[in-house]
Amino acid sequence: MIMRFAVLGVIEAYADERPVDLGHAVQQGVLAALLVDAGRVVSADQILERVWNDRLPHRAVDNLYTYISRLRRIEGVDIVRRQGGYVLDVVPDAVDLHRFRALLDEAYGLADAEAVVLLDEALGLWRGEPFGSLDTPWFAALRGRLVKERFAAWLHRNDIVLRRGGHAELIPDLLAATAESPRDERLAGQLMLALYRDGRQAESLSLYDRLRRRLAEEQGVDPSPPLQRLHLQVVSADAAIAAPVERTVPCQLPARPPVFVGRASELEALDGRSSGVVVIGGPGGVGKTSFVLRWAYDRLDRFPDGQLYLNLRGFDPTAAPLEPVVALRGFLDALQVPPERIPDDVDARSTLFRGLVARRRLLVVLDNARDEGQVRPLLPGGSECLVVVTSRSRLTGLVAAEQARPLRMPMLEVSEAAALLTHRIDRRGLADEAAVEELVRFTGGLPLALAVVAARAIAHPEIPLGALVAELRDEQGRLDALDAGDPASSVRAVTSWSYHGLSADAARLFRLLGVHSGPDIGLAAASALAGVTAVQVRPLLAELNRTHMVDEHEPGRFRSHDLLRAFAREQASEDEAHEALGRVLDHYLHTGFAAERRLSPHWPPIALAEPRAGAAPRAIATYDEAIAWFTAEHAAILAATELAVASGDFDTHAWQIPWTISTFLTRSGRWDQRAATQQIALDAAKRLGDRAAQAAALHLLGRVRSMAGDHAQALADLTGALTLYQEIGDLTGEATTHFSLGLASGGREDHETALNHAYRALELFRATEDRPWEAFSVSALGWYSARLGQDEPAIAYSSEALQLLRDVGDRDCEAHVLRTLGYVHHRRGEYVLAADYHALAGDLFHALGDTYSEAATADQLGDARHHAGDADAARQAWQRAEALLSDLGHPDAEAVRAKLTPPRN
């Protein structure tokens, strides 16, 4: 409920604009005594003195308590007892007296145009004599002060209106006020000036003469020196007091955009600026101009002194960018400066422009700016104007030197784009929402592209929307479908204007970025794509970012709109695109291989060809660095894998890149992605006729299918891999596949078979003297023994494995062995010891970034602590498990969630 109190007249209160009954006059007086100090403590003695003064009733304090109690029962009147007295708990702004004074304080610090608005609001709060009929000395004295404050505010407003040429509107009120206060010299001076400017010089002089005689007769003094000077100016018709010439109010904004949706956060951001410079940046066709015009038309009242607009043609292919000297001539003409007063020099014109608008509340829109140098001479002086600059360049120089506020214009949100398109095509959009959704997806929320689609739909109502979708689905012809025949309405043409403004090297990099199909690209990959060093590519990316051809959405990572990438692909020749693709695939392959060696150094490696010149693979020094690189790049790597297949010339990359990322995808819980990429790898290996590659892909595919629970297909894949390894005589491959067959068999609860595969793997690894894999195999024997209920062998194998693993330094397998020991001790009823092992394992899995294993271990840790009687610790562990599994979208999350839900009685 919103409460509002009024004391500048009869005392009133409103709850949600409904009048509230405040009782009789004395009770209103108690409320008023508190309202004057709203939000502050007022003592009982103060209230008694304010309301009754020396006419205190019998048992005055008791009477006061009664009135306080009655007021508290009134809806919305919140009186709180505090040490030392009472507080009316209400924000001061809800009381007209405090609102009046706050408005005056703010108005006295503002320029004329804003100040007069606030003064009018403040004076409009008055409804009569403050506090109605309350007549105690305290209320009478306060009433007198408030009347003086109101009169001073009214005089201040008169001064502003006179400065702004509004003398005629003031004369009736000034005449009435002078009749009531004939000795007030400031009032007389305002009326004299208003009469003179209204062409009534004789009346102005007569007013002065009457005041002079009255002062001499009654007080024996002359008028004040300021009033005497004004009299002489009126007598001599001094030009200094002539009425100000009515200023031209330019209205240069182009037509209001007929259709506009969304942009709520951007509109709010621009609303927060009342002066200064705002730079709105974004690629061509994103709707910067429409946004500014819609905002400006909805807020014209903020700019009573007009709106100036110029299209600076910064990226117009048909004309050169507008020179500042020409732009300034346009502004000065709009302000009706006589041609003979307009200097030829750009600096002189800029100085004249700044002087003319220094005190004006003006909006200046500088549309489609090329660079900072084009904008700076057009910036007005003073602090009253708001300048909005739109550009395809970021204009960071203005942000740095002129403290401009940058505002990026993004693509429309999906819902906004759908609403815009539906609004344009009317019933057809409502009838075919699925087609609208597809059209939005293929245009990527680019307003220009949506406008072209809408125009085609409107011009050809006989063509179903599905046909337009089909055209846009074809990447090769997408830009053709987004061409309305006019350069300004063609995505290809509008993009080309920005492209042709780039330096040669930046334009080449932009073309090559169209080859890259990932959602974004890092600095090192961009360097490989272009075949240049990181030092060379950094300024090129900066140029593309500055012109919104790419967006640095996080430090060192760049992305661009799908339609920009489609245009970029069109510009690249077949040869340069093929060479760039080879370099960037080599970059991902060799950097990924180096990173995989840090994640799983004991997995048998594959042989790589030497990278192409310029591929510049990164050196990966640590496990954490490998995880960080894969985390940042995995989406781009997956896209690169598909691109290698689509190109038809990079099948070796198509099977080897999935090999490099398989461990990361497993540990981060992305099993579906690992399965998909290994299927791609297997298909590529078959096309190459490479049996070793087929064996590697089948092996990794079988392992991930086993993890996902598809044990039958996993066993088939792994058996196929085992056969291939045996045929080509690869003992290490054969041994690791036996190890994996053990995992798959264990997943089917066939632990005897799993144990046999682990024994066979151990024999082969001992034969090849592979100490790490010997340790892994011993750890597997411990796990399968545990699953078979053979606790003593399980503990013995696991203890032996821990020693071996610590010798070879493998933390991943060590974590699994600790988890095995936790499992065994839990089954033996040794819950505290089991929890200790699970806690150690969980810490290792967390450090390794193995999210699924960490989650599963946290679940087991919760079970152990629950059985150990530590309910709080158990709940914390289960909560951790549930959160991790939910993030992975894993079905086991539901079972853990059930443990967190108390059973119903």
pLDDT digit string (tens) for 201-250?
Answer: 999 999 999 999 999 998 889 999 999 999 999 998 887 888 775 566 88
Q: Give the distance from CA 411 to its chain's centroid.
A: 12
Q: Tell me the pLDDT band of 722, cut-offs 50, 70 and 90.
A: very high
Regarding whether 674 and 528 lie in a shared domain, the answer is: yes
Look at residue 509 in the predicted model and tell me its pLDDT. Answer: 95
- In the chain, what is the straight-line distance between the N-terminal and C-terminal CA atoms, in Å? 42
Residue 197 lies in a domain: no
| Tokens matching residue 640 | 């690169």
Phi-psi domain of 276 (left: phi exceeds 0; alpha: psi -120 through 50; beta: other)? left
Rg (CA), the chain: 41
Q: Give the distance from CA 91 to its chain's centroid.
A: 32
Look at residue 644 in the predicted model and tell me its pLDDT. Answer: 94
Residue 335 CB neighbour total at 10 angstroms:
19
- Within 8 A by CB and 6+ apart from 317, the residues are 487, 493, 496, 497, 500
Share of the chain above pLDDT 70, in %: 98
Q: Which has the higher per-residue pLDDT, 267 or 432?
A: 267
Residue 900 CB neighbour total at 10 angstroms:
13
Task: Tell me 606's DSSP state.
Answer: -
Residue 249 lies in a domain: no
Nearest-angstrom CA–CA distance, 777 and 762: 5
- Within 8 A by CB and 6+ apart from 545, the residues are 394, 551, 552, 558
Look at residue 779 in the predicted model and tell me its pLDDT. Answer: 93
Nearest-angstrom CA–CA distance, 375 and 323: 10
The SS3 call for residue 552 is strand
| Tokens matching residue 507 | 């334009």
The full DSSP string for 808-866 is HT-HHHHHHHHHHHHHHHHHTT-HHHHHHHHHHHHHHHHHHT-HHHHHHHHHHHHHHHH
Q: Residue 636 pLDDT > 90, yes or no?
A: yes
Q: What is the CATH number of the domain that holds 15?
A: 1.10.10.10
Contact 548, 540 (CB under 8 A): no
The SS3 call for residue 551 is strand
Look at residue 522 in the predicted model and tell me its pLDDT. Answer: 94
Burial of 84 (0-12, 13-18, 19+ CB in 10 A): exposed
Residue 307 CB neighbour total at 10 angstroms:
21
Nearest Cα to Cα of residue 589 among 635, 666, 645, 658: 658
Give me the phi and psi of 798, to 5 degrees please: -65, -40
| Tokens matching residue 478 | 């997408």
| Tokens matching residue 659 | 């090999």
Query: Which pLDDT tens digit goes with each residue over 53-69?
Result: 888 887 888 888 888 99
Q: Is the dihedral of CA 120, 121, 127, 132 positive or negative?
A: negative
To the nearest 10°, the Cα dihedral for 668, 523, 491, 648?
-70
Nearest-angstrom CA–CA distance, 497 and 319: 11
Range of the domain at 367: 264-408
Regarding whether 656 and 518 lie in a shared domain, the answer is: yes
Q: What is the mean pLDDT of residues 105-111?
A: 85
Decide which of 100, 129, 164 is a domain's last residue.
Answer: 164
Regarding whether 602 and 534 lie in a shared domain, the answer is: yes
Residue 513 lies in a domain: yes
Look at residue 112 in the predicted model and tell me its pLDDT. Answer: 78
Q: Residue 486 pLDDT > 70, yes or no?
A: no
Lowest mean pLDDT among 476-485, 508-517, 590-599, 879-888: 476-485
Nearest Cα to Cα of residue 521 among 621, 529, 429: 529
**Residue at token pair 């009425």:** 243
Regarding whether 468 and 365 lie in a shared domain, the answer is: no
Q: Residue 14 pLDDT > 80, yes or no?
A: yes
Decide which of 133, 164, 195 is a domain's last residue.
Answer: 164
Q: Which has the higher per-residue pLDDT, 623 or 809?
A: 623
Regarding whether 560 and 420 lie in a shared domain, the answer is: no
Residue 748 CB neighbour total at 10 angstroms:
15
Q: Which has the higher per-residue pLDDT, 426 or 87?
A: 87
Nearest-angstrom CA–CA distance, 413 and 262: 8
Q: Which has the higher per-residue pLDDT, 451 or 650?
A: 650
Look at residue 608 in the predicted model and tell me its pLDDT. Answer: 96
Q: Tell me the pLDDT band of 727, cut-offs 50, 70 and 90.
A: very high
Regarding whether 5 and 22 lie in a shared domain, the answer is: yes
Beta-sheet pairing, 276-281 with 405-408: parallel
Contact 774, 765 (CB under 8 A): yes
Nearest-angstrom CA–CA distance, 165 and 113: 12
Look at residue 429 in the predicted model and tell me its pLDDT. Answer: 54
Q: What is the mean pLDDT of residues 362-390?
A: 90
Q: Tell me the pLDDT band of 810, cut-offs 50, 70 and 90.
A: confident
| Tokens matching residue 589 | 């392959």
Q: Residue 609 pLDDT > 70, yes or no?
A: yes
What total number of domains does the chain contain?
5
Look at residue 754 in the predicted model and tell me its pLDDT. Answer: 94
Look at residue 246 in the predicted model and tell me its pLDDT. Answer: 57
- Compute the C-alpha angle 204/208/212, nearest 5°: 170
**Residue at token pair 């689609």:** 453
Decide which of 339, 373, 408 is a domain's last residue.
Answer: 408
Q: Tell me the pLDDT band of 103, cut-offs 50, 70 and 90.
A: very high
Residue 497 lies in a domain: no
Query: Which pLDDT tens digit goes with each residue over 395-416?
Result: 989 998 888 999 999 888 888 8
* Cross-strand pairs, 490: 483
Nearest-angstrom CA–CA distance, 498 and 544: 10
Regarding whether 394 and 329 lie in a shared domain, the answer is: yes
Regarding whether 14 and 149 lie in a shared domain, the answer is: yes
Q: Residue 778 pLDDT > 70, yes or no?
A: yes
Q: Residue 462 pLDDT > 90, yes or no?
A: no
Nearest-angstrom CA–CA distance, 646 and 475: 14
Regarding whether 565 and 470 lie in a shared domain, the answer is: no
Share of the chain above pLDDT 90, in %: 59
Q: What is the mean pLDDT of residues 607-613?
A: 96
Q: Residue 430 pLDDT > 80, yes or no?
A: no
* Cross-strand pairs, 15: 3, 18
- Compute the C-alpha angle 314/317/319, nearest 5°: 70
Contact 450, 456 (CB under 8 A): no
The SS3 call for residue 550 is coil
Residue 478 lies in a domain: yes
Q: What is the CATH number of the domain that holds 351?
A: 3.40.50.300
Lowest mean pLDDT among 284-288, 651-655, 719-723: 284-288
Query: Which pLDDT tens digit goes with each residue over 154-184?
Result: 999 999 988 888 888 899 999 999 999 898 9
- Compute the C-alpha angle 319/321/325, nearest 5°: 120
Look at residue 548 in the predicted model and tell me its pLDDT. Answer: 85
| Tokens matching residue 499 | 């492209």
Q: Give the distance from CA 546 to its chain's centroid.
A: 19
Helix axis angle, 137-163 to 44-51, nearest 10°: 80
The SS3 call for residue 157 is helix
Residue 792 lies in a domain: no
Nearest-angstrom CA–CA distance, 762 and 785: 15
Look at residue 431 in the predicted model and tell me its pLDDT. Answer: 61
Look at residue 360 in the predicted model and tell me its pLDDT. Answer: 83
Q: Residue 359 pLDDT > 80, yes or no?
A: no
Residue 904 CB neighbour total at 10 angstroms:
4
Nearest Cα to Cα of residue 746 among 834, 823, 693: 823
**Residue at token pair 């064996």:** 695
The SS3 call for residue 281 is strand
Nearest Cα to Cα of residue 42 among 80, 76, 9: 80
Q: Residue 294 pLDDT > 90, yes or no?
A: yes
Contact 248, 336 (CB under 8 A): yes
Contact 564, 286 (CB under 8 A): no
Q: Residue 848 pLDDT > 90, yes or no?
A: no
Nearest-angstrom CA–CA distance, 423 and 446: 16
Q: What is the mean pLDDT of residues 467-490?
A: 75
Give me the phi and psi of 888, to 5 degrees please: -80, -15
- Within 8 A by CB and 6+ apart from 540, the residues are 503, 505, 506, 509, 530, 532
Residue 738 lies in a domain: no
Regarding whether 145 and 9 lie in a shared domain, the answer is: yes
Task: Tell me 187's DSSP state.
Answer: H
Q: Give the distance from CA 813 to its chain's centroid.
A: 42
Q: What is the CATH number of the domain that holds 825?
A: 1.25.40.10
Look at residue 725 in the predicted model and tell me its pLDDT. Answer: 97
Nearest-angstrom CA–CA distance, 416 and 424: 12
Q: Residue 651 pLDDT > 90, yes or no?
A: yes
Look at residue 841 in the predicted model and tell me its pLDDT. Answer: 94
Look at residue 567 in the predicted model and tell me its pLDDT. Answer: 85
For the stretch 787-793, contacts whose Cβ atoms lie closer than 8 Å and that sit 24 or more positions apart, written own/partner, are 787/746, 787/749, 787/751, 787/754, 788/751, 788/752, 788/755, 789/827, 791/824, 791/827, 791/828
Regarding whether 147 and 14 lie in a shared domain, the answer is: yes
- Within 8 A by CB and 6+ apart from 338, the residues are none
Look at residue 904 in the predicted model and tell me its pLDDT. Answer: 57
Q: Give the distance from CA 221 to its chain's centroid.
A: 68
The SS3 call for residue 181 is coil
Nearest-angstrom CA–CA distance, 776 and 797: 11
Residue 727 lies in a domain: no
Look at residue 500 in the predicted model and tell me its pLDDT. Answer: 85
Nearest-angstrom CA–CA distance, 878 and 770: 38
Regarding whether 647 and 512 lie in a shared domain, the answer is: yes
**Residue at token pair 């007013």:** 207
Contact 499, 514 (CB under 8 A): no
What is the rounded average pLDDT for all residues in the chain? Answer: 90
Q: Tell me the pLDDT band of 485, cut-offs 50, 70 and 90.
A: low
Query: Which pLDDT tens digit goes with each residue over 295-340?
Result: 999 999 888 889 999 999 888 776 788 999 999 999 988 888 878 8
